[in-house]
Structure 1
Amino acid sequence: MLKVIFLAAFAVGTVLADGELIILNNPGSVHFEGSQATNQSFLKEVFTVVLGYTPKLTQPWDGVEIRDPFLLPEALVSIVIEGVESVKSPRGKHFPLNVDEVEEVTWQAVSRRLEERDTNNTLVRIRVGDGLDALGQSALGELKPNSVDPASLKHLSLNNEEDQKFIEELQLLRAIAQKIPSTVTANSKPDVYWFVVSGLRPVMDLHGKDSEATKEALKLLNDAVNDLSNAFTDIYNGQVVVALFTNDANKLRNTRSVESPRVRREEKAGELETFDAAAQNSSDNLNTIEKSIQKLATDTEGLVEQIVDALETTTQDSEKSTTESDLEERKDDIDSMHSSENDYDPGKPITLRLSKRYSANYPVIFNIFLWFGIVFFFSLLAICIAIAGMDPGRDSIIYRMTSNRMKKDN
């Protein structure tokens, strides 16, 4: 029953996405869980985070968790299956993937992120669809794929060009898996291996998505991918993240071509509406401020007249005499107050007291100084306590520096 519920939930999640992300292997220090969908443009953040790099985006994704930052993976292996939405792999942890960019853009972002910090990382990208002629002398050395027995194929046929090319890609993947133990060496620097398979889509178009030939092709692909994953896992002793994701570039281009003009029109209409609303609000605010200033000026003038009349009346009383200079000073104060109100400029920018902006390296430097200061303080305290409690025996430096015999010999 639980299996049925899981498959139903997974089917609902994959309907809403047009791709799939599968984690085939991950060490204990990096944990993948949940079923939250993510965008392919965010994969560069996920891949670089698991290798110990600081993410540049703040978009949250609850599917990955770093449990031990001191034992991070030593390599990332990414296998891209072009032109399909799912490979129906029985292994690994599955996540829905929204394809919003081509795989080469993702690769360039990951490799550029690693090259910014260190230029000695191993960065290998291989398109197995280029064939043996292009990959005979690849970055992993000379590849010698084994020949395929036609009798081992039930529904695929080497007589079909699409099937033959797909089988050649699988044989190249197996040849790479056999070559890894002799060419790949684990080191302390993070490495990235990127493999692109593009021959599955023509097979599905030729035989149909639900045909027996497609099912056989998916099984052979998953077997070859498992061989490649196991080879890298053995070389790096499990300290490697092996990820597989699908990418349908044709669907991405079609979606952009249909939605882009509409999105641009909606954005322009929204900008115009926002501008009109802001202009209307600004005009209303200016009118309100102008009326307030006029009302304040009228009230101030009336107040000035009342004060002048009161002062003139009090001057006639012998018990309450007010000099002319005092009257002038009060009128000047009121006039200055009136002029300051009239000098209000609604277009003058308001200076905000914003907090200081800190760079991304501030918390790193802060932690370095903090923990170094703590360790240095306790180390100095331990040294002081040890010296204070030192026994001034004959083998002590305190005895040697204070011995009378030593002074006589000198």
Structure 2
Amino acid sequence: MRIALLIALVVCAFAQAKCNVGELYTLHSPEAVRLVKDVSLRVSQLPDIFSSIFGFTIFNEKETWDSLLVSDLFGFPEAIVNIVIPGVKNADLSISEEDQHYLINDEPIDEIFYALEANIRKRYPTQETTIMQIVLSDEPVVKGTDLFKPINNINDESKIVTEHLNLLIEQDSKFLAEIYQLNALAKTIKTKVFANGVPDLYWITAPNLQNIINFYGSNSYEAGEAKKILSDALNRLSQSFSEAYKNKVLVTATTTNSNKINRSKRQANNEKLLNIASTPSSDYPVIFNLLLWFTVIFVFSLLAISLSIADMDPGRDSIIYRMTSNRMKKEN
């Protein structure tokens, strides 16, 4: 009975792990930094991995560096771009197998963004960093910067020719509108983004492929065409970022089979996770110097007093002799 129960628990755990597996695709990475081939990753690892790629100090260094290949410590990227494709286990993007990694979804995917945002703002509180978050829903939402304005009108030149998808169907029209936004963002990046030596972060959520797969099925012609269109759009976006940052950019896409896009913010004051000390106050140098030199003077003064007492002649004129003598001298 116990053996059967143990086997059932193992099978359930394995099934749950399989259900929580997504993909991480590396669309572009600088030559100096690459992810190790055939390594499985967890979502909870990605904040440390991305922080290391920026050159930040992290808490769990060994596990993180085991997942990275670094050939030039001065070649870290200046920007990280991640496109989240929720509700999809595999997006079948057109890239080589060595740039695909299994991703275990052990925590909400948006936690990566909030951890990286906190890391960047802690280290660059005054510099002008670009931290942009885009959700390509029915009404696209752009947070953090006015770099990109969602488009409302589609030009004839930008229209996408489809064989199986139909604009008259709601799921298809929403997905194609998402592709138009991605293409418009790619054009904007080429003209408005420039490398300035300060880390930048772009976080884009593209949720509409899930609707196509749920409506038509994962093996349908419509789903296959949608994946091909999305892959082409992401490759154009990756190329635009590469040109803008002169190849010093990491562009990734992550898929997760979770149907919910969690927007709960990671605790920015989790100092153990970020491995950052609290910022000292402006009075810290003054207080430190006062305590330091007072301690030094006090120690040397005490040492001098002790040495002078040790060398004192214990004669009758000594106050120590007078106070400790059994027969104290009295004056009449």
TM-score (normalised: structure 2): 0.67
Which of 48, 63, 67 aligns to 2:67? It is: 63
Name the structure 2 match of 1:299: none
Name the structure 1 match of 2:133: 125
Partner Cα separation in structure 2 for residue 175 and residue 251 of structure 1: 26
- Relative contact order (C-alpha < 8 Å, sep 6+): which is higher? 2
Name the structure 2 match of 1:72: 76
Partner Cα separation in structure 1 for residue 25 and residue 252 of structure 2: 6
Q: Which amino acid aligns with 1:35?
A: D
Q: Which amino acid aligns with 2:244?
A: I
TM superposition shift of 1:159: 1.2
Please report the RMSD computed on the Cα atoms of aligned residues, expressed in angstroms.
2.8
Does the CA-based 8 Å contact 2:132-2:142 persist in structure 1?
no
Name the structure 2 match of 1:104: 110
TM-score (normalised: structure 1): 0.55
- The reply on whether 1:85 has 2:92 as its aligned counterpart is no
Unaligned runs of 5+ in 1: 1-13, 254-359, 362-410
Which is higher, the Rg of structure 1 or of structure 2?
1
Show the 5 A alignment for 1:8-407.
18-58=21-61, 60-61=63-64, 62-92=66-96, 93-119=99-125, 120=127, 121-132=129-140, 134=141, 139-144=146-151, 146-147=154-155, 152-250=161-259
Does the CA-based 8 Å contact 1:137-1:143 persist in structure 2?
no
Does the CA-based 8 Å contact 1:76-1:191 persist in structure 2?
yes
SS of the equivalent of 2:69 reads strand
Bigger shift: 230-239 or 89-98? 89-98
Q: Which amino acid aligns with 2:43?
A: Q
TM superposition shift of 1:44: 0.6
Residues 129 and 74 from structure 1, CA distance in 2 versus in 1: closer, same or farther, beyond 3 angstroms?
A: same
TM superposition shift of 1:135: 5.1
TM superposition shift of 1:43: 0.6
Partner Cα separation in structure 2 for residue 155 and residue 91 of structure 1: 23
TM superposition shift of 1:32: 2.2
Partner Cα separation in structure 1 for residue 32 and residue 107 of structure 2: 29
SS of the equivalent of 2:34 reads strand
Identity %: 29
TM superposition shift of 1:139: 2.7
Q: More helix by proportion, 1 or 2?
A: 1
TM superposition shift of 1:58: 4.4
